[in-house]
Chain A
Amino acid sequence: MSDQSNQTTFWKSLNELAKNKEYKKYAEREFPENATEMTDQVSRRSFLRVMGASIALAGFASCRKPVQKILPYNKQPEDLVLGEPNFYATSMPFQDTVTGLLVENNEGRPTKLEGNDQHPSSGGRTNIYNQAGILNMYDPDRSRAPRNNGEQVSASDFVTFASEHFADRNRRILFISEANSSPTYNRLKENALQTFSNAEWVTYEPFNEDNALEGTNMAFGRRLRTVNHYDKADVVVALNDDFMSPYGHKNSVENAFKLTGRRKVTSTEDSMSRIYCVENSFTSTGSYADHRLRLKTSEIEPFTYALAAKLSESLSGLSAFSNVSNVFTNHDWVNRLADELISNGGSSVVSIGFDHSAAAHAAVAAMNRVLGNAGETVTYHEVPFSDDRHQTEAFIEAVRNLNSGAYDTVVLVGTNPVFTAPADLNFSDALSNAGTTIHLSDYVDETSKACNWHVNRAHFLEAWGDGYSYTGYRSVIQPQIQPLFDGFSEVEFLNTLLTGEASNGYDLVQDTWRNYFTSDFNRQWETVLHDGIDKTTSGFDAVNVSLQSGFASNIRPHLSASPIDGIEINIKPDATLFDGRFANNGWLQELPEPMTKITWDNVALMSPTTAESLGLPPEQSFKSNDVPTVRISAGGNTIEIAAWVLPGHADDSITLTVGYGRQNVGRVADGVGVDTYPLRTSEAMYYQSAQVERTGSMYEIACVQDHNNIEGRDMVREATLEEYRENPDFASFESIHGFAVPGMKEAKEKGDDRGPVSLFNEQYGPDHQPQWGMAIDLNACFGCGVCTIACQAENNIPVIGKREVGRRRIMHWIRTDRYFEGDRDNPKVYHQPVPCMHCELAPCEQVCPVAATTHSEDGMNQMTYNRCIGTRYCANNCPFKVRRFNFFNYTKEYLTTGDDPEIIQMAMNPDVTVRFRGVIEKCSYCVQRVNKAKIQSKIDTGSKKPADGSVQTACQQACPANAITFGDLTDQNSVVSQHKQNERNYVMLEEMNVRPRTSYLAKIRNTNSELA
């Protein structure tokens, strides 16, 4: 036998047979590649590459678990069943608050964030930032290593540098930090200020609550955090305060579920609170309000003082305002609001947006105090970590000192002032006056590029931390995964600067918490980790407040505030990107903005009248995505941005949002939209007058809803509370149209009340239980869009990009339709979430030539991707247009771009198939969750009928307003059955006799007949 080519070969694997390079390398090594390199921090990336791809996966999956040592499963741990996710409690920090979350963890890989129902800030609910947080962690564009002058260095290089540089304890250091509620962080901050005696610390957040804190200081003599208890309020007056939206308020989730909870109506006996909204732009909160008045932002403060003046006529304590006389004195709304507030003293809330001056906040605080709301519906709390002065002013002052060479070192912890600081501060020039600049951040962003040192930050799901919720509940942030790209958490970073040594976040956090649990630490610590909240605390203590004696003289100079003449601009955080921190998040970029339904861009919002006065068309073209642009000049800078007409916006006012127009930050963020920060000045952070003119050029906008008028159709049904009490059946087809659904009478005579006679099999699996159905309460929905993101995370829905969205090919399985109705200046707005209706007589099923979409015996309209050939006939024949088509290989593009696509692949839900090009997909009622519950129920009880509440769809679970209920319709006691028995229950297109399983509960507005 020759030992040449035709010698019999024995092979252990196909790789060996193929004798490819990888195999040779593999065979030559004693240990698999990653095993020897595991300790080497730099090559963590190569570990990842193997991680996603190959043999190592099964054995090393446990590495993703947040343990301190990496070990393979020699014996499988008791609490881990492959294929069964574990849930851990943690919290998501956002500015100086945290929201309690539960993390779904699949074999060591977090895939989905849900609210922690034991945590009062979430109540089991989430907002869009929470839901999208998971994608931020798996963002391959995150910084992966520290950099020194742009060169990548290792983490130990940075530690070495820090130990040398900060050995000199007399350095003049300026710390610029994000707002952070972490007790550990604040402990280290105190340490730092003690250790470095020449150091100064300022907190810079481009959008913050400083004005509110200053306002309470002016009113009550103390900087206090205002907490509004919307669940206790009968009347809410929101003055330019979008407190339900995550960009508008740090505590939006709690605000939303408390407010909507007070407005649940199950029978005509129920009452609901009444919301008045006075605002500039049309916001989600404004659209949810019962009455809305549009005013320019600069008119809000005069309006507030006029309201206080009106109240001072009847209530004592507001004498400071008695002399106020401005354009709103005797305004109809001022008089009505004053009446309402007085008659609901002690059970009302007046709130005002953070954009407004401290004086305006003081006025609102005084009104709440005088109305008896303070201590009842509005509480004031001392925040232990709160700074003692207005931090934006402190920041501005610090930048001036920086320019005069007062500091030799600047340490920036997480914030991005080169991008976000007011333009007139020239922050990047100021930075160059310090010899050493160090920036901790997620991305190599604008500020990182301007600093000598960039340090990559670990994501909150990767590192230990802690924090307080808005109302003061303390939680630990437990990591869910070993850091993908290493990185320092904020506390590790600070501690490294202090000690000059690499730090361990776990120990740092425990050190802090040992102060709270002086006895039996381990048990209490583990309880906190388990619950996600320290139940021994009950939030910040409420403070009894009274107006301080100097209040009147303090506030009087501010009361003459007058509106801006001509056009004003407002700079606001973006609904989806906030201040720009979420700019590289594809889910958020592609989430339609709640009111405009624009994706992937920011625009200049204006009223139709203002548009006309600028020579622009008062409405968008239906045929074209091109919209005219305007040139806006303010504070010495000029930008060009697309103009978008938002009916209901205040006239002579333009709203701009920030966070866009990024360069070299990440693949998603780059080149999207226009940077509007240049228009912001330190004098006018939120609004100022501006010159606006049309440019004549056009810009393409990808908007997902081209037609905004409901055309008088009955998709959304609405009544006032009074009308509902008079006619509880107002939402029925007959009440609306004056005649019953054709064929219904005949069907009823035959004893079938399910609908007119049909050609097709009337009911699927007639004896089968359960039968699934969904009810969506339009009285709760305020259009935030978290259902869409939650669905996207749960169901592996791809991001398709602006061009494809512009071609109307968005893939979202649940969308929120937004309709305007009525007068273009003061329209009513409806939000309607639309998932698949799961019609019993589904028109899509009848037309599919290959039977790729069929009915399950438990009443779900199923989509079999493997069978689909992509005729799109089902999508055409769907009256609700909920079916989505993979026009291109979106998923492949989404999941395989870049050098290490394994990272984004790890974000996918393993229970849901990813879809190939050329097939239709749509809402499945989260069939993977339903089936999991059915299997569990079968194991536990022997019945395939899960208990009510044991299945929650992703959209339902995320919704802060509790608008969506889902469950078994054969269970008469299930919540969804009860909703469906409610008089307000209706289905869209009832006359089509498609018998949707998804129904709606009609909206009710609690209007004040005197203002109607």
Chain B
Amino acid sequence: MSKTYEYVPEPALVKGNHDFKSLTALITDINMRPTPKGWYIAFGISNILLFVLLFSIGYLIWEGTGIWGLNAPAGWGWAIINFVWWVGIGHAGTLISAILFLFRQDWRTAINRFAEAMTIFAVMCAGIFPAIHVGRIWVIYWVFPLPNQMAMWPNFNSPLLWDVFAVSTYFTVSLLFWYVGLVPDLATLRDRVKSKFAKIAYGTFALGWRGSNRHWWNYEKSYMILAGLATPLVLSVHTIVSFDFAVSLIPGWHTTIFPPYFVAGAVFSGFAMVLTLMIIVRKIYGLEEIMTIDHIEKMNIIIMVTGSMVGFAYLMEFFIAWYGGVEYEKAIFILRATGPYAWAYWIMIACNVISPQVFWSKKLRRNVAFTFFISIVVNIGMWFERFVIAVTSLSTDFLPSSWGYYSPTFWDVITYVGTFGLFFTFFLLFLRFLPMVAVAELKAVIPQADPHNYDENGEFNPPKVEIPEPVKDSAQKG
């Protein structure tokens, strides 16, 4: 019988022939070793930037929104751009952990913890901006539907209000999802650390996890339910962020393509940011065997696909601007490409549309250094995408008399730079104190977890290494 199909063997998800124990050691030892000097340096720099952020926010609140470069046509500037950018970055984590989980993409386990942490910190950075960009931050609680004597409710028609709910829900669910996934690993750390204080700390957060069958059963169920909850949120949060623009009537904002286009863009930038961080971390912490070149390649493929989707959206915007026949929309797109902000537009096109296309080449998408470079380029490109959307539409809208050029001030720039301080402060704390890979989950997908040792042809391949001895530690049973 001739073969009608061919089985393509998947490369092993974890290289280096790790057993359960060595895997646990590889990851959790990072948390248990003395803090490296480099970490202190990085943490110090992050802290300085964090204080830059706090200072610039303080000055903003003291002086007024006028310290930014905002003006009469451009009521929104860097703050909203940064908000959308950070929220977009915050997309990858939940996409990786929830959607890829539901699709049984086992390769996600190597990076999901890491990506989720990034998500949470990115959403924190994002959340700052809509709060501080308002004129009167001291009454910002009015956006919440708090019962009051005057029966004065927020305006439920407003996309900004939807944003409040969307982003806060997303943040809450992402945090829960991340935490639930952490529980077995926190128990591992609890059992391994020597210091009493650390034991109590990890123990508290491990919620009494003992690895019993019932624990695992509950864990798997809740993880599944949270994955199910998080999945629509991945799509909804950026959809609603895009509504801030799409629901308005400004030419270049008022487009129905925005929700899918924003989600694709968010995935695009999120994956790029995961790659940027992962390439550094796997090198520094020696995790190349877990976060393998195959992972990088898969992520590059996603970047290429979502990059192409974004590029398609750019083309469709132009097509609809022409086909729709609205003169203001037509004008705005011509102005984007040729007008005062053409420089920003072409940076965006070069970074977002052209640069990911290089990943058609297998050689390049398996090149770590090159991938790192592209990931940075994509992050820059996606920032400019938001800049182009937010600023060009406002600065050249309906009445030519109101057209005006927007440029940022010193304070716009340092507030943005400061958010990296916040992000990396938390991220470095995460790297230092929490297992950056989901150890328990990862063990399920290593070759050694396959108890049958049969290959794709049904032939028995005895393990090439000794079957590990039964472990004494109950936490590592899984």
Tally of A interface residues using CB under 8 Å? 60
Interface mask (A789-824 → B, CB under 8 Å = 1, otherwise 0): 000000000000000100111100001011100000
A870 B401 Cβ-Cβ under 8 A: no
Interface mask (B399-425 → A, CB under 8 Å = 1, otherwise 0): 111111101000000000000000000
Closest to A853 in B: B155
Rounded to whole Å, the gap between the CB of A230 and the closest CB of chain B is 29
A919 B135 Cβ-Cβ under 8 A: yes
B401 A705 Cβ-Cβ under 8 A: yes
Interface centre among B66, B136, B152, B154 (most CB of A within 10 A): B66
Interface centre among B136, B155, B402, B404 (most CB of A within 10 A): B402
Residues of B within 8 A of A919 (CB): 135-136
Contact partner of A885 (CB less than 8 A), chosen from B135, B153, B160, is B135
Rounded to whole Å, the gap between the CB of B70 and the closest CB of chain A is 7
Rounded to whole Å, the gap between the CB of B71 and the closest CB of chain A is 4
- Complex CA gap A920/B403 in Å reads 19
Interface mask (A840-882 → B, CB under 8 Å = 1, otherwise 0): 0001011111110000000000000001111111011101110
For residue A713, CB closer than 8 A to chain B, the reply is yes
A869 B249 Cβ-Cβ under 8 A: no
B397 A888 Cβ-Cβ under 8 A: no
B:27-75 near A, CB below 8 Å = 63-66, 69-73, 75
Residues of B within 8 A of A804 (CB): 66
- Complex CA gap A847/B249 in Å reads 10
Interface mask (A8-42 → B, CB under 8 Å = 1, otherwise 0): 00000000000000000000000000000000000
Given contacts A879-B397, A879-B398, contact A809 B71 (CB under 8 A): yes
Contact partner of A810 (CB less than 8 A), chosen from B72, B75, B139, B249, is B72
For residue A768, CB closer than 8 A to chain B, the reply is no
A:428-447 near B, CB below 8 Å = none
Interface centre among B71, B250, B326, B400 (most CB of A within 10 A): B400
A885 B75 Cβ-Cβ under 8 A: yes
Residues of A within 8 A of B402 (CB): 817, 880-881
B249 A843 Cβ-Cβ under 8 A: yes
Given contacts A715-B399, A808-B71, A870-B134, contact A879 B65 (CB under 8 A): no
Residues of A within 8 A of B247 (CB): 846-847
Residues of B within 8 A of A869 (CB): 134-136, 139-140, 142-143
For residue B338, CB closer than 8 A to chain A, the reply is no
B72 A843 Cβ-Cβ under 8 A: no
Rounded to whole Å, the gap between the CB of B146 and the closest CB of chain A is 11
B135 A918 Cβ-Cβ under 8 A: yes
For residue B133, CB closer than 8 A to chain A, the reply is yes
Rounded to whole Å, the gap between the CB of B464 and the closest CB of chain A is 62
A:886-920 near B, CB below 8 Å = 886-889, 916-920
Residues of B within 8 A of A888 (CB): 63-64, 66
Rounded to whole Å, the gap between the CB of B106 and the closest CB of chain A is 42
B248 A850 Cβ-Cβ under 8 A: no
- Complex CA gap A868/B397 in Å reads 24
B399 A817 Cβ-Cβ under 8 A: yes
A880 B399 Cβ-Cβ under 8 A: yes
- Complex CA gap A851/B401 in Å reads 28
Rounded to whole Å, the gap between the CB of B8 and the closest CB of chain A is 51
For residue B337, CB closer than 8 A to chain A, the reply is no
For residue A938, CB closer than 8 A to chain B, the reply is no
Residues of A within 8 A of B63 (CB): 888
Interface mask (B124-143 → A, CB under 8 Å = 1, otherwise 0): 00000000011110011011
Given contacts A804-B66, A809-B71, A851-B153, contact A711 B331 (CB under 8 A): yes
Given contacts A819-B400, A871-B160, A884-B72, contact A877 B249 (CB under 8 A): yes
Closest to A873 in B: B160
- Complex CA gap A917/B69 in Å reads 16
Give the dominant DSSP class at B's interface: loop
Given contacts A850-B143, A918-B64, A918-B135, contact A872 B404 (CB under 8 A): no
Residues of B within 8 A of A886 (CB): 64, 135
A849 B158 Cβ-Cβ under 8 A: yes
Given contacts A849-B155, A869-B139, contact A879 B400 (CB under 8 A): no
Contact partner of A809 (CB less than 8 A), chosen from B72, B249, B250, B394, is B72
- Complex CA gap A994/B254 in Å reads 15
A843 B399 Cβ-Cβ under 8 A: no
B65 A887 Cβ-Cβ under 8 A: yes
Given contacts A851-B154, A870-B65, A881-B397, contact A622 B405 (CB under 8 A): yes
Given contacts A622-B340, A809-B72, A869-B143, contact A707 B401 (CB under 8 A): yes
Interface mask (B328-358 → A, CB under 8 Å = 1, otherwise 0): 1001000000001000000000000000000
For residue A710, CB closer than 8 A to chain B, the reply is yes
A848 B71 Cβ-Cβ under 8 A: no
For residue A989, CB closer than 8 A to chain B, the reply is yes
Rounded to whole Å, the gap between the CB of A883 and the closest CB of chain B is 8
Residues of B within 8 A of A832 (CB): 401
B160 A713 Cβ-Cβ under 8 A: no
B:226-262 near A, CB below 8 Å = 244, 247-250
For residue B220, CB closer than 8 A to chain A, the reply is no
B136 A870 Cβ-Cβ under 8 A: yes
Residues of B within 8 A of A819 (CB): 400-401
Closest to B409 in A: A807
Closest to A815 in B: B401
- Complex CA gap A63/B398 in Å reads 51
Residues of B within 8 A of A918 (CB): 64-65, 134-136
B69 A876 Cβ-Cβ under 8 A: no
B155 A876 Cβ-Cβ under 8 A: no
For residue B205, CB closer than 8 A to chain A, the reply is no
For residue B161, CB closer than 8 A to chain A, the reply is yes
Closest to B155 in A: A851
Given contacts A623-B340, A869-B142, A869-B143, contact A877 B248 (CB under 8 A): yes
Q: List 22 A-B contacts (CB under 8 A).
A: A622-B403, A705-B401, A707-B400, A707-B401, A804-B66, A809-B71, A817-B401, A843-B248, A845-B155, A847-B158, A868-B136, A871-B134, A876-B394, A877-B250, A879-B250, A879-B397, A881-B72, A885-B135, A887-B65, A917-B135, A918-B64, A919-B136
Given A623-B405, A713-B398, A873-B248, 10 new contacts (CB under 8 A) = A707-B401, A715-B400, A808-B72, A849-B161, A869-B135, A880-B399, A885-B70, A887-B65, A918-B65, A920-B135
